[in-house]
Amino acid sequence: MFRTIDGSLLDNEPALLASDRAQTLIALAGAGAQVRRARSLAAEAGAASVAEDGRPRAVVVAALAGSAVVAELLAALGGPGSPVPVSAVHSSTLPGWVSPLDLVVAVSLSGRASGPLAVAAEAARRGCRLLTVGRDSSPLSDVCRNARGIHVPAPDGLRSSRAGLWALAVPLLVAADALGLVHCDDAVLEATADRLDTAAETARPSSDSFVNPAKGLALELACNVPLVLGATDLVGVAASRAAAQLARNAGHPAVLGVLPDAAGGIVATFDGPFARPDDIFADPFEAPAQTGLRLLLLRDADEEEEPAVRRIADIVRDTAGESGVRVSELRAEPGPALARVAGLIALTDFASVYLALGLGMDPASTPHVVDLKERLA
């Protein structure tokens, strides 16, 4: 028997905040301030000075776990028109082709993650241009400074990369803007910070479930297997982040995909054992008798969607409805690309925490992950 969500807890603000012992909701609410602080730290550290030696042949981003999305974000914002390729490294091995012609970026909130640390050390040995983001006075900052690279310190007070995405991503985006890889100037960063502030206000703990989109989404995803589908590469970053946050914060598995390639794989599940006929008389907030599917479709702002993208997203959504699979559709608000994806990320971040708290879980505690790290160590 699966665990059901306590919807009444979500609308009891004192009890909700008391159950959030690590104050994860408060940390998420500070995302806008995090963007502004990270922008200042990046400027003070001279992140934009990576452009002084000209544009690199390629950019390699080493990041793991909750930090890994920063590489996806840079690649999506650059898009197919990026003048240089962006490559992600999710291990401790720097690809053999990387040379002094390339820029290596290593990201680790603690500055101690073995993968980014090893990649940074190898990049320094090869004479690559090096940019690191993480705790100051850490092994990562030491490697960077010894190699005469640029280290951007992470703001104090962040406990987890899951709630510190923007502290890690903004310095990289500032550097990428200076290199002409993305458009991410001060105006874009301020618009993004404002969008995150708005999302935090909309998803605040004091807002009731029937008007709070994050709480509503948590209730919709509970007792279901989410099919998290991004309609484009840009919102696919938000989809990837959502699937990761559901797993790490709420222990909730999700199937991830990005259109158009994932359309067939997602639709195929509508014929499988988790698909169930929709009961039009069922309470949408009441736990079903068995686990089913829920399509979480993330879409870009309407004016940003190309006709071909709109068509396939509409077809997948309509096919889900016709198959009895319920759909939660989230659309980005208009604005710069970074602000659009940030709004979706903020909403699903809050939803994952509300889901965890409603299930009686601590979103900041993952005992099996801790055990895994201890065994690997």
Q: Which CATH superfamily is domain 7-22+193-358 in?
A: Glucose-6-phosphate isomerase like protein; domain 1 (3.40.50.10490)
Across 330-340, average pLDDT: 97
Question: Is residue 274 a contact partner of residue 292, using CB atoms and an 8 Å limit?
Answer: yes
289 within 8 A of 337, measured Cβ to Cβ: no
Residue 287 has pLDDT above 70, yes or no: no
Note the pLDDT of residue 46. 96
277 pLDDT exceeds 70? no
Joined together, the tokens standing for residue 142 give 């030491």
Say what the pLDDT of residue 283 is.
58
Between the alpha carbon of residue 13 and those of residues 18, 37, 202, 253, 350, the distances in Å are 8, 28, 15, 27, 14
pLDDT tens across 197-209, in order? 999 999 999 999 9
CA–CA dist 114, 94 (Å, integer): 13
Residues of the chain with pLDDT > 70, as a percent, come to 95
Task: Compute φ and ψ for 200, nearest 5 degrees.
Answer: -65, -40
DSSP E strand boundaries for the chain: 59-62, 86-89, 103-108, 129-134, 150-153, 224-230, 255-258, 292-299, 326-331
Which residue type sits at 298?
Answer: L
pLDDT tens digits, one per residue of 342-369: 999 999 999 999 999 999 998 887 777 7
Residue predicted with more confidence, 267 or 66: 267
For residue 62, give the amino acid letter.
A
Identify the band that residue 281 occupies on the pLDDT scale cut at 50, 70 and 90. Answer: low
**pLDDT for 282 beyond 80:** no
pTM, full prediction:
0.93
* pLDDT confidence of residue 1: 46
Domain boundaries, the chain: 7-22+193-358, 30-184
Lowest-confidence range among 72-86, 231-245, 266-280?
Answer: 266-280
Q: What is the mean pLDDT of residues 150-179?
A: 92
CA atoms within 13 A on the CB side of 111: 22
Residue 168 has pLDDT above 50, yes or no: yes
CATH architecture, domain 30-184: 3-Layer(aba) Sandwich (3.40)
- Say whether pLDDT at 286 is over 70: no
Calculate the alpha carbon distances from 252 to 5, 21, 205 in Å: 12, 20, 21
Fold match flag (7-22+193-358 vs 30-184): yes
**pLDDT digits 0-9 by tens, 215-263:** 999 999 998 999 999 999 999 999 999 999 999 999 999 999 999 999 9
